[in-house]
Structure 1
Amino acid sequence: MGLFKTVDVGGGLSDFWAYIRQPRPHRWASWGVAITLPLVIFYGFSQQLIPYEKPETKIIYFENWAADRSADEIRAEWVARAKETTRRNAEKRAEYQRLADMMGVEYDSAEADEVTRETLGEEAAAAARQKKPVAAQRSTIAERAARGPQSQVAN
């Protein structure tokens, strides 16, 4: 532990610099090899280890409506998409309502339900938010352990 208490970085750097500055035969060739060899290896790894292929550009043309459709047909398609979105939202709200009921949390969706009734009509809105029965929850390990060994066979 006493070896690393006083680290002399400056002395190490000055010794390295003194060694570098001494004229030695083949000094520049050694430096060239020492620098070039790792660069060539890193370049080779970067090119060959994980090759990169530039993705090809693909243009796909498709037509999802007729070019000669009327403004009424366009509006009818918009209305149909809006009704489908409203129906899906009503189903989601019903799921959230069931979750809130299970957890005992207040969840008021009266405004959104009114919009659903206006958009889809009373029957469709009722069908979208129809309550499905909540599945019976399984008891936890702690509850089964508290009831005793006779109830563990049933669950």
Structure 2
Amino acid sequence: MKMFGKVDVGGGLSDFWAYIREPRPHRWAVWGVALALTWVVFSGVEQYLIPVDRPKAQIIYFENWTADRSAGEIRADWIARARETTRRNARKRAEYQRFADSLGIEYDSTEADRVTRETLGEEAAEAVKQRPAPPPRSTLAERAARGPQPEITD
């Protein structure tokens, strides 16, 4: 005997709906009590069994510069931070350039190189000029035209 051989979900839902629709004297009161009891249980579990440590507000005062700095010192600090950010961006751009070159994707960084040269000066221009040329890549058609290559074994 197969108990769950063929499950009739539609029939079960229609029986449940017919049972709910039958007029009973305390139907709405029972529904109200059931929903209220369910809400009390879930809210109790949420509040007491699964505690959430909410962060407390903190005010932290710190000073990272002296109050009597001159406008020139402030400007020099801004420029130093801008140069560091530009160096970091240039390093990332060089990594992306190498990645694009390895995939054979054309990557134009002339505008970014111009901004780097303006920010960092000739030091960056020399670094850009010394960037190695991408290795030549053969296309699938060229490799197919060469034919099968002998395997190299050590």
User: TM bucket by the smaller chain?
Assistant: 0.5 to 0.7
Measured in 2, the distance between the counterparts of 1:125 and 1:83 equals 14
Closer, same or farther: CA 127–7 of 1 in aligned 2, 3 Å? same
Closer, same or farther: CA 43–122 of 1 in aligned 2, 3 Å? closer
| Letter in structure 2 aligned against 1:83 | R
The within-5 A match list for 1:51-70 is 51-70=51-70
Measured in 2, the distance between the counterparts of 1:87 and 1:2 equals 67
SS in 1 for 2:82: helix
TM-score when scaled to structure 1?
0.61
Structure 1: segments with no counterpart, 5+ residues: 22-27, 135-145
TM-score when scaled to structure 2?
0.62
Closer, same or farther: CA 69–149 of 1 in aligned 2, 3 Å? same
Aligned residues: 133
Q: 1:80 corresponds to which residue?
A: 80
CA shift, 1:100, in A, is: 1.7
Closer, same or farther: CA 147–32 of 1 in aligned 2, 3 Å? same
Q: 1:18 corresponds to which residue?
A: 24
Q: Does the 8 Å contact 1:90/1:125 carry over to 2?
A: no
CA shift, 1:86, in A, is: 1.4
SS in 2 for 1:63: coil
More displaced 10-residue stretch of structure 1: 84-93 or 49-58: 49-58
Measured in 2, the distance between the counterparts of 1:68 and 1:106 equals 51
CA shift, 1:73, in A, is: 0.4
RMSD (Å), alpha carbons:
4.0
Q: Does the 8 Å contact 2:113/2:128 carry over to 1?
A: no
Closer, same or farther: CA 147–49 of 1 in aligned 2, 3 Å? farther
Task: Output one character per residue of 1:89-135: Cα deviation in whole Å (capped at 9) or x when no partner.
Answer: 2212211221121111211212221222232122244347754799x
| Letter in structure 1 aligned against 2:76 | A
Structure 2: segments with no counterpart, 5+ residues: 1-5, 135-147
